[in-house]
């Protein structure tokens, strides 16, 4: 039994190591390429480690400013969209998830399954109807329209996830608070929400990632260069005849760093929140 246990542990360690290498290799290649000169990137035998370190990609990234290129402005645009998506998505997901979890009303099951179906549908199917609606409202080429697109895409998953966290909170806490004289709003804000902080952190993080990394909706909604988001700006350096991989990889690192920093800062809540709502207590 001891030998079998040791063998099983060794196999587990090997498999976990291979999975980690498989998952981290693209990130390492991105960081390594961002520090390589252009002459080294296009060699027939690319290396995993830069033979000559250079910061030309990062210098061009933050200093290049023309009529069609402005990375600082694109970063601000992405930050506005991501923060707005996170805030509005969190508000809708928390209130909607709480209503479906706690209240019993006609059509509750239909609404819940509709939200689940909306999450299963590919995002590409939402492009045409959303574009037509925003065109009628004259919100194309505006941050408001893009944020509406992001929130529409983020809310179904976030609402369903918050419902799971609310379901994990015993109903006896609501009843005890109501008996003590608390209103429904007091129960929601003072009793339930503090107990679901891990879920709120996961929901906010997921919404932020959508607004920060999304490209498809932005490429359709935004037309002016000054209103482009960071992913759109990076995509513009991939041309038909030439691709500036140094700037693209440097920009990819710059886009990834805030996400990693937020994850490390909220790691305790995120790790706990990924499983806290999965089991109903």
Per-position pLDDT tens, the chain of length 281: 445 577 778 888 899 999 999 988 888 888 888 888 877 777 766 677 777 788 888 888 777 776 667 888 888 999 999 999 999 999 999 998 898 888 888 877 788 788 878 777 787 788 888 889 988 988 888 999 999 999 988 888 888 888 888 888 888 888 888 888 888 888 888 888 888 888 888 888 888 998 898 888 888 888 888 889 988 888 888 766 677 788 888 888 888 888 888 888 777 766 655 555 444 44
243 phi, psi to nearest 5 deg: -130, 120
**Cα angle 206, 254, 153; round to 5:** 25
**Stated length of the chain:** 281
Question: Cα–Cα distance between 92 and 88 in angstroms, integer?
Answer: 6
Confidence at residue 36, expressed as pLDDT on a 0 to 100 scale? 84
By three-state DSSP, how is residue 238 classified? strand
User: Which residues is 70 bridged to in the sheet?
Assistant: 65
- So what's the pLDDT on residue 1? 46
Dihedral, 198, 200, 202, 203 alpha carbons, nearest 10:
160
Q: Cβ distance 174 to 102 under 8 Å? A: yes
Tell me which DSSP letter residue 80 carries.
H
Run of H or E residues at 75: helix 71-102
And the tokens for 70? 């402005």
Residue showing tokens 């179904």: 156
Its pTM stands at: 0.80
Domains and CATH numbers, the chain: 25-54 (no CATH), 60-276 (1.10.3720.10)
Residue 277 burial by Cβ neighbours in a 10 Å radius (0-12, 13-18, 19+)? buried
What pLDDT score was predicted for residue 240?
63
What DSSP state is assigned to residue 227? G
User: What's the longest Cα–Cα distance across the chain?
Assistant: 74
């Amino acid at each position: 039994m001891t030998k079998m246990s040791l063998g099983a542990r060794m196999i587990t360690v090997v498999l976990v190591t291979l999975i980690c290498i498989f998952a981290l290799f693209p990130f390492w290649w991105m960081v390594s390429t961002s520090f390589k000169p252009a002459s080294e990137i296009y060699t027939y035998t690319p290396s995993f480690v830069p033979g000559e370190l250079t910061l030309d990609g990062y210098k061009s990234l933050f200093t290049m400013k023309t009529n069609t290129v402005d990375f600082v402005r694109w970063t601000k645009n992405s930050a506005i969209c991501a923060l707005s998506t996170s805030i509005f998505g969190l508000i809708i997901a928390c209130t909607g998830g709480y209503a479906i979890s706690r209240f019993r009303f006609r059509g509750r099951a239909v609404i819940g399954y509709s939200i689940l179906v909306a999450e299963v549908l590919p995002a590409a199917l939402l492009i045409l109807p959303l574009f037509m609606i925003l065109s009628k409202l004259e919100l194309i080429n505006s941050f408001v329209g893009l944020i509406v697109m992001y929130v529409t895409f983020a809310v179904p998953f976030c609402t369903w996830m918050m419902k799971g966290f609310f379901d994990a909170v015993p109903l006896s806490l609501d009843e005890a608070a109501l008996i003590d004289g608390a209103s429904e709003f007091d129960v929601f804000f003072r009793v339930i929400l503090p107990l679901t902080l891990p879920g709120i952190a996961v929901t906010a993080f997921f919404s932020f990632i959508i607004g920060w990394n999304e490209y498809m909706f932005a490429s359709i909604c935004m037309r002016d260069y000054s209103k482009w988001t960071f992913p759109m700006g990076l995509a513009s350096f991939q041309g038909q005849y030439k691709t500036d991989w140094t700037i693209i990889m440097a920009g990819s690192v710059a886009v990834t760093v805030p996400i990693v920093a937020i994850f490390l800062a909220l790691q305790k809540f995120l790790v706990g929140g990924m499983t806290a709502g999965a089991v109903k207590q």
